Structure formats: structure tokens, C-alpha cells
Structure 1
Amino acid sequence: MNVLNEWTALACKELGIDPATVDRDLILELTKEVAHGVARPAAPLTAYLLGLAQGAGTAPEDAVARLTTLAKNWSRATAETLTDD
């Protein structure tokens, strides 16, 4: 078992989460997109926000898709945001 698998299993056990419900690769892909497209510190914050959204009832796949789109369009989104009056 590699370190990431072991960490995931132990963290899930500690938090009472079924590891089968964690799509590790999906989350890592999202945080990679955010780290490269927005800023590195935004990646862990985004993962936390994803957890809050899921806890509030948002389907994880939907939240990940929306956040990934936002990260991929970040330069355009910020330009539009900054120029809106």
C-alpha cells in the first residue's frame, strides 16, 4: 500500500467515512487544475469547499464539474469580474 492509499484509508477511518465513497483521483484532478490555473494555495481550500458543498447536499460530481470549469476559465472569469460595474 502506498502512502496516499494508507493516508486516505486512515483519514477516512478517523473521520468515520466510507473510503469507497471517496473518488481520490477526481479530487486530485480538481486540485491540480486549481493549483495550476488559479493558485497553489487555492487547491486545499477548494478541496475543503468541496467537502462543505457535499455536506450541504451538493452531488460531488456536480460540484467538481462546476469548480473545474471555474478554474479552467479563471483568467476570463476574473477579467469579467474586475470589469463589471
Structure 2
Amino acid sequence: MNVLHEWTILACKELGIDPARVDRDEILGLTKEVAHGVARPAAPLTAYLLGLAQGAGTASEDAVAKLTTLAKNWGEATTETLTDR
């Protein structure tokens, strides 16, 4: 068992989460895009925000895909956001 898998299993157990519900590779892909496209500290923050949205029941089915796309297009998104003010 590798460390990441073991950590995921133990963290899920500690939090009362079924590990089968965790798509580790999808979350790692998201945080990779955010870390490289936005800023490194934004990666764990994004994962946390996604978790909050999931827990509150407000995350859409494609929330990870939307956040990944936002991170990949961050330069354009920030330009559009700043010009909307």
C-alpha cells in the first residue's frame, strides 16, 4: 500500500467518509491545475472550498470540472473579472 492510498483511507476513516466516494485522482488533478495555473496556496484552499460546497449540498455534479477549467483559464478569467468592476 502506498503512502497516499494509506493516508486517504485513514483520513476518510477519521472523518467518517466512505473512501469509495473519494476520487483521489480527480482531486489531485484539480489541485495540480490550480497550483500551476493560479497559485500554489490556492490548491489546498480550492480543495477545502470544494469540500465545503459538497458538504453543504451546493456543489454541482461537474464542480471539479468547472474549477479545473477556471484554473486552466485563470489569465482570461481574471482579466474578465477585473474589467467587469
**The two structures share one fold, judged by TM-score above 0.5:** yes
1:67 aligns with 2:61: no
Shift in Å at residue 41 of structure 1?
A: 0.3
State the identity %. 86
Structure 1: 5+ residue runs without aligned partners?
Answer: none
2:6 alignment partner in structure 1: 6
1:47 alignment partner in structure 2: 47
Structure 2: 5+ residue runs without aligned partners?
Answer: none
Letter in 1 for 2:3: V
**Kept in 2: contact 1:53–1:63 (CA 8 A):** no
Shift in Å at residue 66 of structure 1?
A: 1.1
RMSD of aligned alpha carbons:
1.1
Letter in 2 for 1:43: A
- C-alpha separation in 1, matches of 2:77 and 2:64: 17
- Written as runs of structure 1 = structure 2, the 5 A alignment for 1:29-44 is 29-44=29-44
Q: 1:34-85 CA distances to partner (integer Å, 9 max, x unpaired)?
A: 00000000000000011011112124x4110110111111100111112223
- C-alpha separation in 1, matches of 2:10 and 2:84: 46
TM-score by length of 2: 0.93
TM-score by length of 1: 0.93
- C-alpha separation in 2, matches of 1:24 and 1:84: 35
**Kept in 2: contact 1:38–1:74 (CA 8 A):** yes
Off by >2 Å, runs of 4+ in structure 1: none
Question: Number of residue pairs matched?
Answer: 84
